Amino acid sequence: MSTKTMNIKVTKTSKSRIKEIDFDNLPFGKYFADHMLVMDYADGKWGEPEIVPFGNIEIHPATSALHYGQSIFEGLKAQRNESGEVVVFRPEMNAKRFKESAERMCMAPVSEEVFLEGIRALIELDREWVPTKDGTSLYIRPFLFATDDYVGIRPSEKYKFMIINSPVGAYYSEPVKVKIETYYTRAAEGGVGRAKAAGNYGASLYPAKLGQEQGYRQLLWTDAKTHSFIEESGTMNVMLMINDVLITPSEESDTILKGIAKRSVIEIAKSWGIKSRRTKSFCC
């Protein structure tokens, strides 16, 4: 995490909602901490980040993100270690990926310094919202969207960057039954598969719903050309152990999101002497 302290204006909530939360029952993404970070881009530059009480935001009906899909996000977690300290796993990698996603979506990128320091300051303010029970965490959701009040196909000239936090339990509490998707496509070469763009997830909802109706929890996406090679899953990267070799699709392809946990697992496996191989894709 960044250790440099920025000048972030803080307006504290008049009344915390933390006592309304049952921390023994935390559905994923339902509850939100007391504060959020907001920063606006206009006239070719970013304004100052500010932390304010969590609440609704007002948008114009012609807000360009609603019409043309310039919207990206990240997801990472804060947890308590054995000493009770609040820690975040490799957030600098999320900051870099967030910047790359913004560039691919033709959006004004947020500096890694602001991304990291914003997370640090927000967590410090809402530290009590970080759960203590095993298997729980504070889910951190930075996101960026276009805010031009203009209906016309062009990159927006205004953007809003926000961070909200949510105390959560495990996303999956049991093994996940997956379906290998051989008709619908998540991403094609030359597209935005590598970006963590909101539209990627919107387009995946219908085939995921069809899979759920067949008894599956998730899809394993295959390549757009032949549907013969596994690329990634809807909520995670894919890694297989075959003949004592850890095999995973290569991130050189622009159809696959760069997985932070995946790269970390590969590094740990290497330190344990486990061989790994990254291939363009592997047959299903």
d(CA 167, CA 161): 21
Alpha-helical runs (H) found in the chain:
64-68, 91-104, 112-125, 198-213, 260-271
Output the CATH code of domain 178-283: 3.20.10.10
Domain 9-168 falls in which CATH fold?
D-amino Acid Aminotransferase; Chain A, domain 1 (3.30.470)
Taken as a whole, the chain contains a residue count of 284
253 CB-near residues (< 8 Å, 6+ apart): 189, 193, 194, 231, 280, 281
254 CB-near residues (< 8 Å, 6+ apart): 187, 189, 190, 191, 193, 194
Burial of 121 (0-12, 13-18, 19+ CB in 10 A): buried
Q: Supply the pLDDT for residue 284.
A: 52
260, 94 in Cβ contact below 8 A?
yes
d(CA 134, CA 126): 19
Q: Supply the pLDDT for residue 1.
A: 40
pLDDT at 117 > cutoff 50: yes
180 bridge partner residues: 220
Q: Supply the pLDDT for residue 94.
A: 98
d(CA 150, CA 96): 29
Q: Supply the pLDDT for residue 120.
A: 97
pLDDT confidence of 236, banded at 50, 70, 90? Answer: confident
pLDDT confidence of 235, banded at 50, 70, 90? Answer: confident
C-alpha 248: how far from its chain's center? Answer: 20
Higher-confidence residue of 238 and 199: namely: 199
The string over 204-242, giving b where at least 16 C-beta atoms fall within 10 Å of a residue's C-beta and e elsewhere, is beebbeebeeeebbbbbbbbbeebebbbbbbebbbbeee
Q: Tell me if the pTM is above 0.85.
A: yes
Q: Supply the pLDDT for residue 3.
A: 40
pLDDT at 63 > cutoff 70: yes
**Rounded mean pLDDT, 73-79:** 97
d(CA 205, CA 217): 12
Q: Supply the pLDDT for residue 251.
A: 82
Q: Supply the pLDDT for residue 48.
A: 96
pLDDT confidence of 281, banded at 50, 70, 90? Answer: low
Share of the chain above pLDDT 70, in %: 96
The CA-based diameter of the chain, rounded to the nearest angstrom, is 59
pLDDT confidence of 14, banded at 50, 70, 90? Answer: very high
Tell me, yes or no, if the two domains 9-168 and 178-283 fold the same way. no
Average pLDDT, the chain: 93
268 CB-near residues (< 8 Å, 6+ apart): none
Q: Could you tell me the residue ranges of all domains in the chain?
A: 9-168, 178-283
Encode pLDDT of 202-232 as tens digits: 999 999 999 999 999 999 999 999 999 999 9
